Amino acid sequence: MGDKGSAALRAILEKQQEAIIQCQFPAVKERTNTLLRLKQMLIDHEAAFIEALVSDMKRPAFEAFAFEIAILLNEIEYVCRSLKQWARFERSYQFKFGYIEAVRKKRSPYGSVLIISPWNYPLQLALMPAISAIAAGNRCVIKPSEYAPATSELLQQVVSQTFPPEVLTVVTGDRHLAKQLTTMPFDLVFFTGSQETGRAVSQQAAEQHIPVILELGGKNACILDESGFSPEAIREIVWGKFLNAGQTCIAPDTLFVHESVYERTLSEVSSALLAFYGESPSDSRDYARICHDRHFQKLMHFFAQGKVWYGGAFDADDLFIAPTVLTDIQPESSIMQEEIFGPILPVIPFRDLKDLLELKAIPRDALVAYMFSKNKQHIELVKNYMRSTTVSVNQVIHHGANPRVAFGGVGRSGHGSYHGKAGFQSFSYEKTEYKAYRYFHVSDKFPPYSDQDMRIVHKFRKWLL
């Protein structure tokens, strides 16, 4: 980006920060009105957004609406209903020796927030953090992914028509623009993407002492024990894995199956895939494509690391990879170490759940761990083993659409969370007003101190301090 583009970006940031200084921070009613305008924007341009999403990734229109637009509308409605309560002052009073202590706390916005969003859900993952940021009283700059150009350009166009730039603005460009943005003095950076890029964003922000929220994905294990097997469970797992051609950060990454139900599981997985996408998934209108060529090539490297049980077809010109099931995978293979993020499902048998966990083949800090079981002891084992912020039992994906459930990572899967109240809290900080109402002064708290003063502190510490 040239000097003019850089100057324009800085002008936008300065305008947002000037608005914050001049107007303080928007009241709850103003924030709610901004969110309602965002909601109306999505409703008014629903058809255009679906067309753009289909254009970028050949997404099924059903998935484009359900997992991009509908989830945003639901989030906005929930936040608007709850915002007044979240934003209330917390008050407390306490009598001390010589004075009354009055504490009043509220959540205060950071100021101007930079949101860098990915390509796999280019509308939802651009606007979902913006909903949290606006609810907390911030101004936002969104940098959507260049790998979803139709959605990004449309988002920039309709946002500029709906909001003044000092409230919400969208800037489009490649990774060089994203890198430039992270050098600017935003008050908070929210990044969704790969661990490698997230590390670079975090380091850049740290140099300026800017707080960062990172959503980095990870290898989400799905464990199916002998008590959890059923055709319905397999359909749930298959649906969650191959939704958006596997390009979902909370998709089941690898399926670990008890050996007693291993063969039946493979059979049911094949049946479910056939029922969902037919004998020729490339002809199915309900199956998406890989977003870009670089990711397509990465996924192709995984094919040689196991035996293809089902699927395996691909078309580089169409960025098509059929729903594929791999078996007989070696533990040291890269597919067992790296996040797959595509329509390839390794199925691994295990004999004993405790032994499986002790082998540490399952990363503890994924975004989510899935467990299909009726065995309470097994469920507790997995819950105690995982560090992930969510352990989901007998379902996949749905928790990510629930605004009452915090969405975020820990360790290698990121840090910080959003959605609902968690987002309101992450995009704000606690600001305290402390007042002391004195009814007499205690001179013994000042130097020089005596032995008598020490005895008084020991005896009355709860009321003195």
Residues that are catalytic: 215, 249
Cross-strand pairs, 108: 429
At residue 183's C-alpha, the angle toward residues 180 and 189, to 5°, is 100
Beta carbons within 8 Å of 4's beta carbon, 6+ residues apart: none
- Helices 262-277/231-242 angle, 10° precision: 60
- The secondary element (H helix, E strand) that includes residue 415 is strand 414-415
- Hey, what amino acid is at 16? Q
- 406/204 Cα distance (integer angstroms): 26
- 290/296 Cα distance (integer angstroms): 6
Q: In 254-292, where does DSSP find H-type helix?
A: 262-277
Q: What is the dihedral of CA 112, 118, 122, 127, to 10 degrees?
A: -20
Cross-strand pairs, 414: 215
Q: What is the DSSP letter of 68?
A: I
Beta carbons within 8 Å of 289's beta carbon, 6+ residues apart: 57, 58, 245, 318, 319, 320
For CA atoms 15, 423, 65, 67, the dihedral sign is positive
Could you tell me if 436 and 99 are in contact, meaning their C-beta atoms sit under 8 angstroms apart?
Answer: yes
Q: Residue 130: helix, strand or coil by DSSP?
A: helix
At residue 129's C-alpha, the angle toward residues 403 and 58, to 5°, is 90
- Helices 28-44/149-162 angle, 10° precision: 130
Tell the residue number behind the tokens 């395996």, with chain if given. Answer: 312
Beta carbons within 8 Å of 395's beta carbon, 6+ residues apart: 236, 370
Cross-strand pairs, 327: 307
Q: Residue 419: helix, strand or coil by DSSP?
A: coil
Q: What share of the chain is helix, strand, coil (3-state, %, to 5)?
A: 50, 20, 30
Q: What is the DSSP letter of 449?
A: P
